[in-house]
Amino acid sequence: MCESAAAGAGGGGGYAESFIIVSDISNINNIIVGEGGTGGVGGAGGGANPGTAGLAGGNSSFGLGTSYQVVAIGGDSGDRGFENNDFRCVGASSNVTGNIGQIVRDGEGTQLGFRAGGVNDGSSSVRAYSSRGGNSLFGVGGVAREVYGDEGTGDGQSPQGYGSGGGGGVCCNNSTPVDISGGNGANGTQGLVILDLFT
């Protein structure tokens, strides 16, 4: 029995920038650095545990009040890995709403993960490709993973920099009657807040 599964990756976080007059800033300000999203957990073979999707990244922000608050929205999570009868899984979408600032930029979404070739009767091999993590302005998402035939499980690749999405997990096995367990998704990287003062 050919078995394979792949999971969607996390999206990249958004970017926001504002120019603020110092006298307009309150004496009490909050600086929040968003945590990277947690990667999903691969499911157990045989369908007993279908696995879980990862969590979205946290928002990064500065200030109090809508007149000078800057908010960059964390990246979305990708879908959990699909079962054998499904052809593809959905990665994270780009951030299209929620960023607050004079200059904003959406985080990058991810492509689909999918399985290719083979049928579930042991007559041919299969390949599975996980989804690549989304880039942010200051980071690069985890690269996609590919497994073929009996190569087994591959965990998602870790991203680099700040605000980037973790890669999705993947697994593949042609043996009978072995059930496979899905690879875990990688965690996203934390956000970044930069404060420049000009006199």
d(CA 2, CA 21): 62
**For the residues of the chain, what is the DSSP string, one character each?**
--EEEE-PPPPPP-EEE----GGGS-SS--EEPPPPPPPPBPPBGGGTB--B---PPPPEEE-SSTTT-EEEPPPPPPPPPP-TT--EE--PPPP-S--BSSEEEPPP----EEEES--TTSSS--EEEPPPPPPBTTEEPPPP-EEETT-EEEPPPPPEESSPPPPPPEEEE--SSPPP-PPPPPPPPP---------
**pLDDT bracket for residue 118 (50, 70, 90):** low
What are the extents of the domains in the chain? 1-199
pTM above 0.95, yes or no: no
Q: What is the pLDDT of residue 36?
A: 93
Q: How does pLDDT run across 6-52, given as a tens digit for each residue?
A: 777 888 899 999 888 877 777 767 889 999 999 888 776 555 566 77
